[in-house]
């Protein structure tokens, strides 16, 4: 049975561990790691089959695949080591790959050690269609994100521009730029901009718009793609994760679905 180690016992980590604990994913949760021991203990309290809480190296050597659901910093800290130890890596903090040097280093290491790197679709729909479309030509990819002020608080763009995010009374365009600029401005919010770029036409050409909407009860991500195949638009109205309003519930579900895909013989979708 696949042995899974999880780095990050926050909103996404909890959902992944519970899915394994409930048998939704046919795998064994071998160990977890978090820089906050309280978060590790809080997670374990919600599980029937409790994994070990281990320091990174021990956790990695005890698992077949490590799921990173912590931070871009954690990808930089542990990514190379995980792959050098011959383990597969799943990355939720896809924003880390804004640094193309890091992605290249990890991909080269994965190739040398016969491992795989998985980047789940996260909080968006349409990556399957985009991957198919990318086999031919793509002219345009746009991500339009709309969030409640609560989901955007603390972002560097808000702080740097002294924006009072609670002052908006109606839906307003806050930011427009390419995916590279978007992830710098809102690092904890638009990981999806980077996954979308990697699957499509790259970080410089992928266009991102971010709206703040005090009336929004959900995190809305709309992906529009135009190319040789024609065009499509996918809109997801995401329920925020109970543990973290910046994170959409679908992001955790996409990691669980990716684990299911790895562990099951039938593969559906691109």
* Interface ranges with ligand NAD (CB under 6 A): 7-13, 34-36, 39, 69-71, 73-74, 77, 92-94, 122-123, 188, 191-192, 195, 241, 243-244, 247-248, 251
DSSP code string of 200-221: TT-TTT-EEEEEE-TT--SEEE
> Given 113, 114, 207, 221, which residue is catalytic?
221
Select 32 or 201, whichever has its Cβ closest to ligand NAD: 32
Select 131 or 169, whichever has its Cβ closest to ligand NAD: 131
- Closest separation in Å from C-beta 38 to ligand NAD: 9
Measure the CA–CA gap between 136 and 138, rounded to whole angstroms: 7
β-pair partners for 172: 212
- Closest separation in Å from C-beta 24 to ligand NAD: 18
Measure the CA–CA gap between 37 and 50, rounded to whole angstroms: 15
The first and second tokens of residue 81, run together, are 């080591």
The answer to whether the CB of 206 falls within 8 A of the CB of 225 is: no
- Closest separation in Å from C-beta 37 to ligand NAD: 10
Select 17 or 74, whichever has its Cβ closest to ligand NAD: 74
DSSP code string of 67-96: EE-S-HHHHHHHHHHHHHTT-EEEES-GGG
221 given a catalytic annotation: yes
Select 146 or 195, whichever has its Cβ closest to ligand NAD: 195
- β 27-33/2-7 pair status: parallel
Measure the CA–CA gap between 261 and 147, rounded to whole angstroms: 30
- Closest separation in Å from C-beta 253 to ligand NAD: 10
Catalytic (active-site) positions = 221
């Amino acid at each position: 049975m696949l042995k899974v180690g999880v780095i990050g016992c926050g909103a996404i980590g909890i959902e992944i561990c519970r899915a394994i604990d409930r048998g939704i994913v046919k795998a064994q949760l071998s160990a977890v790691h978090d820089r906050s021991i309280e978060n590790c203990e809080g997670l374990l309290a919600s599980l029937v089959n409790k994994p070990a809480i281990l320091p990174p190296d021990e956790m990695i050597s005890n698992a077949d695949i490590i799921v990173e659901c912590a931070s871009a910093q954690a990808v930089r800290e542990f990514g190379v080591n995980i792959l050098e130890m011959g383990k597969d890596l799943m990355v939720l903090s896809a924003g880390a790959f804004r640094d193309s040097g890091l992605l290249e280093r990890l991909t080269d290491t994965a190739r040398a050690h016969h491992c795989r790197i998985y980047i789940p679709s996260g909080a968006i729909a349409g990556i399957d269609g985009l991957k198919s479309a990318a086999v031919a030509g793509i002219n345009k990819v746009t991500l339009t994100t709309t969030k409640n002020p609560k989901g955007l608080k603390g972002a560097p763009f808000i702080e740097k521009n002294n924006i009072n995010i609670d002052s908006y009374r109606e839906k307003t365009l806050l930011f427009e730029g390419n995916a590279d600029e978007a992830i710098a401005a809102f690092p904890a919010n638009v990981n999806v901009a980077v996954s979308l770029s990697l699957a499509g036409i790259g970080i410089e050409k992928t266009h991102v718009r971010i709206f703040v909407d005090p009336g929004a009860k959900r995190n809305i991500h709309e992906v529009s793609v135009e190319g040789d195949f024609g065009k499509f638009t996918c809109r997801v109205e995401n329920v925020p994760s109970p543990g973290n309003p910046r994170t959409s519930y679908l992001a955790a579900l996409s990691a669980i679905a990716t684990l299911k895909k790895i562990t099951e013989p039938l593969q559906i979708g691109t």
